[in-house]
């Protein structure tokens, strides 16, 4: 019967650490075929048959091919279904379990519990030294909601072209390479795919046996060794505690939009039959508004206290540190929201845990837990020094008393003791100064310097006292990162602003009581050269042109930050918000450098 199968090289490798018995194989089959069509028979049903290939490779094989039905999402009729065929193939080869499957019900949990998945870092041993890296998706080691969390790169060969200044804190989640005449890909789910025609089971076994030999004898690819390194959770947890949690809700929202996932809510009802009270549960569809609010809520970053409880939800939610994994436990909304996939329902918390859809950072900033594995930032403490270099103390910034100052209708300039007025004094020698605050803004101020060949975007934030609070830094960092793309504006784009936005006078925003803003006589063109059209063309054409994204933050003290960061370098304890502060600054630095922009932060001494 196995001779009927023609398979592609699309597999997962698991290490068998303990004896593999009939009960485990049976449980895997039961989970995988739980979506089998009711009252149907399997087309192929082979259980642990011993086989030998032409290459004299002995193996045991289990196969089940069965019909299943899937809902047709584009028709509002539950009685209409697609009938397809699913399969699962389990190959026991030496001390490994090789898994191939398609359209089965999910059976990953039992594999996770019983076996050790061979993951990206180890699978990289299967890539030769001369492979061409054509595509990579990277997960940044950050949980900041203001940071770029995922990045993708594509080229004929990324080795030598991909900037490596930040890769020490990036986790490869998908890799595509050309290895001679073959195309291979590796994903964070431990899946290896190699392009090929469909082949027999024996040919797949011979190929898998060769990959196993490479796993056991080869070393990690040199290029991939630059990226974050996988480490054991049990070793990290000895000296470091979890500090913050981010649920990776993006995969769920994408699944909902594509129709592959459906969210429902478990509604509890109480009925009285005579004097007796009866409780019942009913599943209802979630409205679009509720769904949007839920996704927005789950996108937040949650802090973890010393008892491993979620700050703000201490009585209902916590994380559990297991032997080799971390799991999320909650008695809140995540249990009442159900998720439907392949006609199977489970609560959202279980789904998130099973799929590993969350990240955890630690009070030691070089570690991060992601996709059921722990990773270490290989860039080392030099990262701290480079972040401190971004901080540029500004004389008299401590005298600032407000962000924009007060406004009168006859006013023609910003108050000198406001951050806006302070910035205009710093850049008074630049050729052009524009105030772009409010509306479709790129920055609070944009300046152009023809002698220095620079374009500067300045984002200002003021607080009445210096602080290391990460939450206070979030907004200004978010504005800076969001507008990095606008820094590479075209001549037409900046001309449009010059002839529309910048021709008006500044009007302040509403105050905290909802009163309308004040229309002033402050010209948005704060300073202008002789001929903007020719000057901007000259600047954009120059090979000397460079761009700076500047965050002017009166509440940051470099000396205070440096003192805390020096503790990190020495391995001393710092509070959780300092770690978050470091992550946020680091995210800004890397995002700016990826955009070929110089990151700077104006601050107090």
**Residue in 144, 246, 141, 140 with CA at minimum distance from that of residue 480:** 144
Token representation of residue 212 = 């196993």
State residue 144's pLDDT score. 57
Say if residues 146 and 394 touch (Cβ distance below 8 Å). Answer: no
Three-class DSSP category at 497: helix
CA distance 353 to 364: 23
Supply the DSSP string of 339-393, one letter for each residue.
Answer: EEETTEEEEHHHHHHHHT-EEEEESSTTEEEETTEEEE-TTTTHHHHHHHHHEEE
State residue 106's pLDDT score. 86
State residue 273's pLDDT score. 64
Three-class DSSP category at 546: strand
Say if residues 533 and 583 touch (Cβ distance below 8 Å). Answer: no
13: Cβ contacts below 8 Å, ≥ 6 apart: 96, 97, 98, 99, 117, 118, 123, 190, 192, 208, 211, 212, 215
- Residues of the chain predicted below pLDDT 50: none
Instruction: Provide the terminal-to-terminal Cα distance of the chain, rounded to the nearest Å.
Output: 76
* CA–CA–CA angle 156, 185, 367 (5° rounding): 100
Digit-coded pLDDT (tens) for 286-343: 888 888 888 878 877 788 998 999 988 888 899 999 878 899 998 877 788 888 887 7
- Phi, psi values for residue 250, rounded to 5°: -60, -45
Q: Determine how many CB atoms are found less than 10 A away from the CB of residue 211.
A: 21
Supply the DSSP string of 101-150, one letter for each residue.
Answer: EESPPP-HHHHHHHSEE--HHHHGGGS-TT-EEEEEEEEES---TTS--E
* Residue 489 DSSP code: -
Residue by residue, what is the 3-state secondary structure of 254-287?
Answer: HHHHHCCEEEEEEEEEEEEECCEEEEEEEEEECC
State residue 168's pLDDT score. 77
State residue 576's pLDDT score. 66
Say if residues 85 and 67 touch (Cβ distance below 8 Å). Answer: yes
| Strands of 182-300, DSSP E | 182-187, 191-199, 229-231, 242-247, 261-273, 276-285
**Can you give the pTM of this predicted structure?**
0.60
CA distance 7 to 198: 5
State residue 470's pLDDT score. 62
State the helix-helix crossing angle for 250-258 and 348-355, rounded to 10 degrees.
Answer: 110
Say if residues 58 and 50 touch (Cβ distance below 8 Å). Answer: yes
**Residue in 364, 373, 371 with CA at minimum distance from that of residue 243:** 364
Digit-coded pLDDT (tens) for 154-213: 988 988 777 665 677 788 889 999 988 889 999 878 899 999 899 999 999 999 999 999
Length of the chain: 605
Token representation of residue 112 = 């996770």
State residue 247's pLDDT score. 85
């Amino acid at each position: 019967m196995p001779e009927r199968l023609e398979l592609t090289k699309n597999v997962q490798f698991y290490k068998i650490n303990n004896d593999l018995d009939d009960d485990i194989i049976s449980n895997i089959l039961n989970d995988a075929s739980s979506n089998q069509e009711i009252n149907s028979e399997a087309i192929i049903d082979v259980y642990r048959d011993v086989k030998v290939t032409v290459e004299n490779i002995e193996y045991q094989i289990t196969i089940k091919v069965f019909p299943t039905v899937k809902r047709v999402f584009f028709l509002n009729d539950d009685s209409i279904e697609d009938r397809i065929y699913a399969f699962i193939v389990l190959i026991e080869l030496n001390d490994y379990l090789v898994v191939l499957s398609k359209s089965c019900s999910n059976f990953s949990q039992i594999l996770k519990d019983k076996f050790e998945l061979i993951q990206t870092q180890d699978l990289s041993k299967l890539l030769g030294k001369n492979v061409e890296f054509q595509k990579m998706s990277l997960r940044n080691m950050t949980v900041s909601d203001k940071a770029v969390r995922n990045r993708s790169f594509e080229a004929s060969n990324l080795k030598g072209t991909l900037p490596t200044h930040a890769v020490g804190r990036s986790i490869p989640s998908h890799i595509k390479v050309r290895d001679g005449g073959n195309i291979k890909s590796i994903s964070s789910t431990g899946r290896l795919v190699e392009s090929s025609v469909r082949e027999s089971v024996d040919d797949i076994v011979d190929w898998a046996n060769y990959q196993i030999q490479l796993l056991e004898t080869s070393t990690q690819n040199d290029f991939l060794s630059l990226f974050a390194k996988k480490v054991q959770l049990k070793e990290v947890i000895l000296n470091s505690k979890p500090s913050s949690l981010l649920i990776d809700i993006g995969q769920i929202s994408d699944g909902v939009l594509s129709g592959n996932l459906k969210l429902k809510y478990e509604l509890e009802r109480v009925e009285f039959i005579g004097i007796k009270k009866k409780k019942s549960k009913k599943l209802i569809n979630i409205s679009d508004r509720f769904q949007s609010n839920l996704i927005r809520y789950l996108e937040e970053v949650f802090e973890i206290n010393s008892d491993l409880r979620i700050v703000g939800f201490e009585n209902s939610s916590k994380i559990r540190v297991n032997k080799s994994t971390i799991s999320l436990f909650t008695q809140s909304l995540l249990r009442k929201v159900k998720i439907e996939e392949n006609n199977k329902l489970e609560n959202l918390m279980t789904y998130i845990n099973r799929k590993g859809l969350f990240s955890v950072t630690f009070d030691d900033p070089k570690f991060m837990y992601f996709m059921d594995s722990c990773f270490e930032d290989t860039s080392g403490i030099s990262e701290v020094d480079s972040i401190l270099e971004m901080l540029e103390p500004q004389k008299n910034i401590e005298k600032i008393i407000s962000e924009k100052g007060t406004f009168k209708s006859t006013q023609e300039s910003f108050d000198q003791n406001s951050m806006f007025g302070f910035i205009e004094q710093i850049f008074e020698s630049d050729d052009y100064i524009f105030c772009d605050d409010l509306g479709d803004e790129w920055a609070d101020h944009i300046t152009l310097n023809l002698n220095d060949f620079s374009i500067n975007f300045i984002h200002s934030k003021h607080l009445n006292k210096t602080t290391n609070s990460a939450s206070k830094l979030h907004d200004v960092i978010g504005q800076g990162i969001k507008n990095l793309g606008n820094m590479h504006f075209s001549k037409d784009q900046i001309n449009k602003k010059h002839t529309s936005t910048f021709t008006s006078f500044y009007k302040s925003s509403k105050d905290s009581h909802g009163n309308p803003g004040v229309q002033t006589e402050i010209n948005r063109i704060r300073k202008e050269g002789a001929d903007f059209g020719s000057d901007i063309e000259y600047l954009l054409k120059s090979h000397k042109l460079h761009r700076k994204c500047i965050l002017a933050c009166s509440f940051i003290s470099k000396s205070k930050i440096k003192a805390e960061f020096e503790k990190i370098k020495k391995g001393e304890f710092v509070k959780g918000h300092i770690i978050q502060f470091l992550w946020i600054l680091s995210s800004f630095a890397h995002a700016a450098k990826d955009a070929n922009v110089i990151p700077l932060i104006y601050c107090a001494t």
